[in-house]
Amino acid sequence: MAVQAGYGLGMRRLAIQAAGLAGVALAISLAAASFAWAETILFVGNSFTYGALSPVQTWNAGRVTDLNGDGVGGVPALFKTFADEAGLAYDVSLETSPGKDLQWHIDNRSALIDRAWDHVVLQSYSTLSAAAPGDAGELVRSAATLAGMLHARNPAVDIRLDATWSRADLTYHSPSPWYGKPISAMQADVRAGYDKALAASPLIRAVIPVGGAWNRAIDTGLAAPNPYERPVSGRVDLWAVDHYHASVFGYYLEALTIFGSVTGMDPRRLGPGETAARELGLTPAQAVALEQVAADELAAAAPGRK
């Protein structure tokens, strides 16, 4: 009887161990399947995408694939964090270079980006054209070229354009087409340029209203309109120290707006405990306020193509 009892106990232990191993195998299998099913997204842009002059530039770089090998996390890493928190599987890649327009990426980085992607976000030069600020002609042509290239690899690719913000330096400090005008003026012209690019190519799905979200943050009193003036208590500064690039607040708002546009998810669902905000020094109240601005701007913006 003792032998039989010992034998039975041993068999039960083996059964438990087998079940444990089966559970581990299942977990590994599910993890692999989750990775296999992850949607791919590529970010193409310049310093406005890679988070120049802020901790965002290298933050969580290990969680995304920098195709240039520069160790950039940037706005793509923020997007990846938001997606993970929301339970969405995205494999995030980026190809960025400072001060470049989309044509530069076509001429110099096609070998990296000319492949099949599920989603692509394109961001071009901050003034639309370095040679002729405010002229959208080159943006229209290069966006259409990239859209054709990417569509040939995956006819179902979702291509969106990141319409960026007004530069305070060109509004308040330096000669430009927007000098002396309201801070919203440059963004309105940039958005109009991206809208032309959208209208010119049926392969582009939508324009992401990042600059519009910045204007909304200013209009609602969340953000300061002029970083050259003494700051008002409680208002965030969306610009970096050069009043050109974004601060952590500005890039965070950019990423929230892109996240909501690409995924269709309300950014407010990320909530006050959002991980990136905490790690980058935003308070829960600031995170919630920026999420609200992004959600409101997305709700008000013109819908893209179905």
**pLDDT tens digits, 98-143:** 999 999 999 999 999 999 999 999 999 999 999 999 999 999 999 9
**pLDDT, tens only, 210-242:** 999 999 999 999 999 999 999 899 999 999 999
Instruction: Point out the least confidently predicted range of 25-34, 70-79, 90-99, 186-195.
Output: 25-34
Structural tokens at position 263: 């995924």
β-pairing, 206-208 vs 158-162, is parallel
pLDDT of residue 305: 81
Residue 59 near residue 279 (C-beta atoms within 8 A)? yes
Q: Which residue has the higher pLDDT, 171 or 22?
A: 171
Question: What pLDDT does residue 36 have?
Answer: 56
Which pLDDT tens digit goes with each residue over 266-300? 999 999 999 999 999 999 999 999 999 999 999 99
For helices 210-219 and 284-300, the axis angle rounded to 10 degrees is 120
53-69 pLDDT tens trace: 999 999 999 999 999 99
Query: In whole angstroms, what is the distance from residue 269 CA to residue 255 CA?
Result: 14
Residues 180, 182, 186: CA angle, nearest 5 degrees: 90
pLDDT at 59: 98
pTM of the model: 0.89
Average pLDDT (94-100) is 98
DSSP H or E run through 136: none
Per-residue burial over 280-303, b = 16 or more CB atoms within 10 Å of its CB, e = otherwise: bebeeebbbbbbbbbbbbbeebee
Sheet of 39-45: strand order equals 65-66, 90-96, 39-45, 119-122, 158-162, 206-208
Residue 31 has pLDDT above 70, yes or no: no
Q: What stretches of 100-174 show up as alpha helix (H) in DSSP? A: 102-113, 137-153, 168
Confidence of residue 168 (pLDDT cuts 50, 70, 90): very high
Asked whether 120 and 159 are in contact (CB, 8 A), the reply is yes
Q: State the pLDDT at residue 231.
A: 86
